[in-house]
Structure 1
Amino acid sequence: MMSLAEHFDLESLDMLREVMDDEFADLMRVYIDDSRQRMPLLSQALQQQDAKQLRELAHSFKGASSNVSANVLAQLCYQLEMAGREEQLAGADALIAAIEAEYRNVEILLQDMM
């Protein structure tokens, strides 16, 4: 069984749930839908060796993940953003795989909360 604490900042997540109240589930659904669309775009940008696009996608995914307190995922996205910024794309495929794996965990945990 996965622990929320392994993937989220629990204090921030609880605060978000409290502030959003009835709209929390809607916010999580929007995050999940956006994230599912973002995933293939990361791989596509890497295939095209488009460091700028990769940086921008990783940056926005980092922000969205941070907003839902998915700090591990946000940190991975930050690493990918920095790789794009520095145009160091060697190894970015492993980072994207880590992001995809962590996102799957985050999505499962969020769906369990809704």
Structure 2
Amino acid sequence: MSEAVNLDVLDELKELLDDGFPLLVERFVADGQERVDKILLALEEQNPQLLYTEAHGLKGSSRNIGAGSLADLCGQLEAMGHANDLTAAETIVAALKTEFSAACQVIIDH
């Protein structure tokens, strides 16, 4: 499961932030879940702009915390939203949900 997050990046953040690291984890999990929920809503409503916006935001925070696979999935959704084409989004959103859960578990346990 550790492949969901680059542990070297987490270790660097933990060292850099020291006592602030738990707050980073808490914010990533809470904000990320809110973005995932909005991505699901965007898919349900077939709203490419909302999909683009939320995927873009989650992509940035995922990259910052070392969750590269999650960020890559977000990038795919971001591109779909930008292109106004959500035809393949359902499969990627399902993978994103799984990857987000895995990344959160690694980050919380680390």
**TM bracket, shorter-chain basis:** over 0.9
Whole-angstrom CA distance in 1 between matches of 2:108 and 2:5: 14
Whole-angstrom CA distance in 2 between matches of 1:86 and 1:10: 33
User: TM-score by structure 1 length?
Assistant: 0.90
Whole-angstrom CA distance in 1 between matches of 2:34 and 2:5: 21
Farther-moved stretch of structure 1 (57-66 vs 36-45): 36-45
Matched, 1:58 2:76: no
Pairwise CA distance, 1:35:
1.2
DSSP-derived class of the 1:90 partner: coil
Amino acid at match of 2:38: L
Matched, 1:73 2:70: yes
Pairwise CA distance, 1:13:
2.2
Structure 1 stretches lacking a partner, 5+ long: none
The answer for the alignment partner of 1:7 in structure 2 is 4
DSSP-derived class of the 1:81 partner: helix
Instruction: Give RMSD over aligned pairs.
Output: 1.1
User: TM-score by structure 2 length?
Assistant: 0.93
Whole-angstrom CA distance in 2 between matches of 1:40 and 1:9: 24
Matched, 1:107 2:104: yes
Aligned-pair identity in percent equals 35
